[in-house]
Structure 1
Amino acid sequence: MDPASPVVPTTGPSAWNIANYLTVFRLLLVPVFAWLLLVDDGRNAAYRWTAFAVFAVAMLTDRIDGDLARSRGLVTNVGKVLDPIADKALVTMALVGLSAVGEVWWWVTIVVLVREWGITAVRFWVIRHGVMAAGRGGKVKTLLQTFGIGFFLWPRWTLPAPAFWDGLAWTLLGAAVVVTVVTGVDYLVQALRLRQTSERALRKRAERAARAARPSGTTEP
């Protein structure tokens, strides 16, 4: 390199990138999806199919924006914050809407949402100690939730053998609830362990031990 050439500081990717645009697009789809789901108290088959299509597109953008961010080096702090918010907003609206129209029991919705938003709060609680990465269980949970909610969005009463589709939807959502609870407990245990074993926690304990071992009345040089 020419020694006379100016040094250009290295900066991270801009927050204005295609991956984040897709995340924002997914957020904007949430109220559209909600309206389509709740038309005629959820009994309009055409609107329900459209709501399902919007949900499917939103979940597809979730996969695409993550792949783009990783493959093109577009991972940003804005994306890290917005992406999980967009995902949880969509799942929250889907479950609340399905409960409001009488298709999913409210206790199922409450259990799932307490776990989803609770773990988000826990992540912020331990963020100074480290990042809790999503594990395989979390990915299985997301997959089961997506398919379970997707089948519930179908106007199953218009399909042949509606009892079969009802059973399939409940089986997938029931499995999602079990995995949701199990992974939630696992994340909580990880968070507690991280707060005890992180470099920050060990340093603070060492500092407290040093202060306790120092003779009373002495001061640091």
Structure 2
Amino acid sequence: MVADADRAAESVGQERPVPVLNIANVLTILRIVLVPVFLVVLFVDGGHSTGWRIGATVVFAVAAVTDRIDGQLARKYGLVTDFGKLADPIADKALIGAALVGLSVLGDLSWWVTGIIAFRELGITLLRFAVLRHGVIPASRGGKLKTLVQSFAIGMYLLPLPDSWSTASAIVMGSAVLLTVATGIDYLVQAIRPRAGAHANPLSS
């Protein structure tokens, strides 16, 4: 009985390792797989067919929704992994980047908008890898809000909406650009902190 109690105490005190291949990470990988599917659908018939544009919007929306679901599952069921922390924002950037570039190639979105967002996303991705030895920088609430607004703005540009919606679409996209820049600065501050701590405590590594 004593041995059983000891084993029970040990099992409580020890955290079970989280498998990398879990439902949350599978959804993240699915989002990456849907990126080329989305691009193919977007460019069918030159990218200006009403039916195919709606289809591209649906694929984009499904991929974007997985971002919400995988995060909720990871937190609810304790499926958070370093792979997920790294792969989740990369999957977001791949989807958003593909959509922005596709819209700019089709002439529906100014290249300067795509350039600003792409520069920020690429820079933050490289920054994540640069500070990986000090720890993974997870997606923040501000970053999630930025992705949500970006997704909503892209959806408005993907859908074959009437011209009367152009101003509203531009305002939402402008908000997405502002959030993109603001959260980029925030991530930069987060990345500097662990490096500063490591330099202050050289024996800790």
Secondary structure of residue in 2 paired with 1:155: coil
Contact 2:38-2:56 at 8 Å conserved across structures: yes
Structure 2, unaligned stretches of length 5 or more? none
* TM-score (normalizing by structure 2): 0.86
In the alignment, structure 1 residue 195 sits paired with structure 2 residue 200: no
In the alignment, structure 1 residue 59 sits paired with structure 2 residue 71: no
Q: Any idea what the Cα deviations from partners look like across 1:152-180, whole Å, max 9, x if unmatched?
A: 01012xxxxx2332111111111111121
Contact 2:82-2:136 at 8 Å conserved across structures: no
Residue 89 of structure 1: aligned partner: 94
Distance (Å, rounded) in 2 between the aligned partners of 1:139 and 1:81 = 14
| Structure number, greater radius of gyration | 1
Query: Percent identity of the aligned residues?
Result: 51
Q: 1:25 to 1:141 in 2, by over 3 A?
A: same
Q: 1:141 to 1:73 in 2, by over 3 A?
A: same
The total of aligned residue pairs comes to 199
Distance (Å, rounded) in 1 between the aligned partners of 2:118 and 2:191 = 19
Distance (Å, rounded) in 2 between the aligned partners of 1:82 and 1:153 = 25
Structure 1, unaligned stretches of length 5 or more? 157-161, 208-221
In the alignment, structure 1 residue 37 sits paired with structure 2 residue 42: yes
In the alignment, structure 1 residue 166 sits paired with structure 2 residue 166: yes
In the alignment, structure 1 residue 77 sits paired with structure 2 residue 82: yes
Q: 1:195 to 1:11 in 2, by over 3 A?
A: same
19, 28, 35: which one aligns with 1:14: 19
Contact 1:144-1:172 at 8 Å conserved across structures: yes
What's the Cα RMSD here?
2.3
Q: How does 1:77-156 map to 2 (within 5 A)?
A: 77-156=82-161
* TM-score (normalizing by structure 1): 0.80
Distance (Å, rounded) in 2 between the aligned partners of 1:139 and 1:127 = 20
Secondary structure of residue in 2 paired with 1:69: helix
Q: Any idea what the Cα deviations from partners look like across 1:15-37, whole Å, max 9, x if unmatched?
A: 22211221122111111110111
Distance (Å, rounded) in 2 between the aligned partners of 1:69 and 1:43 = 38
Aligned-pair CA distance for 1:11 = 4.1
Q: 1:21 to 1:172 in 2, by over 3 A?
A: same
Whichever residue aligns with residue 167 of structure 1, its letter is T
Contact 1:99-1:109 at 8 Å conserved across structures: yes
Secondary structure of residue in 1 paired with 2:3: coil
